[in-house]
Structure 1
């Protein structure tokens, strides 16, 4: 993570925020207009099927490859080993190849990034993109017989990767991007009173607070479903979302959840919603938290 004062200046950069927001909106609009096929691709890039974000996992591959490349360049400089030189070149190529799907996953996540993190996320992407460009130039220089230039470019790129990584830490730990914003119960709860059955209208999502937990109730005929009312992706109020059968779409970033189980149907969310059992007893709607495990 970066020092607080530096990160605060980045986050308040209006130019970065405005341009970044425009890019994010354009990507999200492209996904939504692309229909089910585009959403399936976006879901894969978000990591919806994994149950956690994909991008942080993928970053280990290029960072690891480029870190080893730097060590091999150092070894080659000390020993003059041709094997170390070839290893460094191969590792840079491997890192560059791995950076492509990593960047695509990052772009998917950026398309629905919270507003307060837009500038930080934009700079994170710019630095990583610049690093990739320098690594590609490094490969060109190495193949052209200018190894010293190639090593210098790679070192500069590695520095940008480190700075981008620090910003990535800020996105997660300071701006809470990619973390679970819901509060899943660790164990099955007791039956708790929610509201009178007569007060639960059909087809209208309704938020109630049960044992200090925000719960979304939804009635369809004789069936009543209950899930956490705070979207796991970015904390949006799901009771303001759009129901569609047994699913509900988040009003902020269009994640879709199955209200029967809390499962994610479409991202950008990757974490499921807390789910509740429901019963009607004595004219009252009662809910019981299901164990997250």
Structure 2
């Protein structure tokens, strides 16, 4: 059995649920708003956690390599161990917040992922203590064990990120289904004023927001976990996801609040002859196309 298939057995392990619930309670102490958005990575446009883990992992690997090189590098290796310990705290915190809005099976893997990395942190902490006491041999042995633990934890993180697409944009592929030419969504009167409407283009859901004769159109799938945004709510110029509460500006699809970090793709919309039409943004107008950009009505 391949490693990826073995990890899937963790996803079905219900005995991990109590630990997952405890981690969820801890993550829930982070209030919605600017702090959670910062930890999620809303301002970066992608999750913080994959970026944050580079510093502790790089510091610990560099420290171990220094230990194995000829010469006396004890002071440098010890300093790098401590840098890794300090930087591992925000990395772990960002991962905890990210995982709190995922499905149960992801959280079960996250428990083992956190346990492996936590064990690695303890081993590197013990390595630092041993070095402080002049026991450099023990310091190296504990660091090697710590690398093994965080390596295992990293493989589980890779399963979540690449096998289960945690943190990925779940709507990006839909943009490739939208034709460059104008597509008809239906009569303007078929979309209620001031409410969310839904249409389809090549099997891709489109959310339509009408304000009088002006129309805004966006890809109708939440980038965070693929929720149907037409089932969400509309308030203060923002579209709110029905599953995890991510908010996007109707005007341009930008993220207002997470856990989503990728923007919602906005389409060019126009009303021609009482019909709503959409196409990809950035397509140059062609003679006889008949559409007018910007979502303005035709009077």
Q: Please give the TM-score of this superposition, normalised by the length of structure 1.
A: 0.88
Instruction: Give CA-to-partner distance per residue, 1:10-45, whole Å, 9 cap, x none.
Output: 111112245314533652x434xx3xxx52111111
Instruction: Give CA-to-partner distance per residue, 1:164-205, whole Å, 9 cap, x none.
Output: 110111011111111110136369822110122121112332
Provide closer, same or farther for how the CA distance between residues 291 and 16 of structure 1 changes in structure 2, counting only shifts above 3 A: farther
Higher helix share: 1
The higher-RCO structure (CA 8 Å, 6+ apart) is 1
| Deviation for aligned residue 1:140 | 1.3
Provide closer, same or farther for how the CA distance between residues 198 and 174 of structure 1 changes in structure 2, counting only shifts above 3 A: same
Q: CA RMSD in A?
A: 2.1
Aligned-partner SS, 1:277: strand
For structure 2, list consecutive stretches of 5 or more residues without a partner in the other structure. Answer: 284-299
Q: 1:110 aligns with which of 94, 99, 103?
A: 99
Matches within 5 A, 1:1-293: 3-21=3-21, 23-24=23-24, 27=27, 29-31=28-30, 34=31, 38-75=32-69, 79=70, 81-82=71-72, 84-183=73-172, 185=175, 189-291=180-282
For structure 1, list consecutive stretches of 5 or more residues without a partner in the other structure. Answer: none
CA contact (8 A) 2:208 2:217 kept: yes
Aligned length: 280
Provide the rounded CA distance (Å) in 1 between the counterparts of 2:139 and 2:259: 38
Provide the rounded CA distance (Å) in 1 between the counterparts of 2:223 and 2:135: 50
| Deviation for aligned residue 1:6 | 1.7
State the match for 2:292 in structure 1.
Answer: none
Q: Please give the TM-score of this superposition, normalised by the length of structure 2.
A: 0.87
Provide the rounded CA distance (Å) in 2 between the counterparts of 1:22 and 1:201: 44
Aligned-partner SS, 2:53: helix
Provide the rounded CA distance (Å) in 1 between the counterparts of 2:111 and 2:210: 41
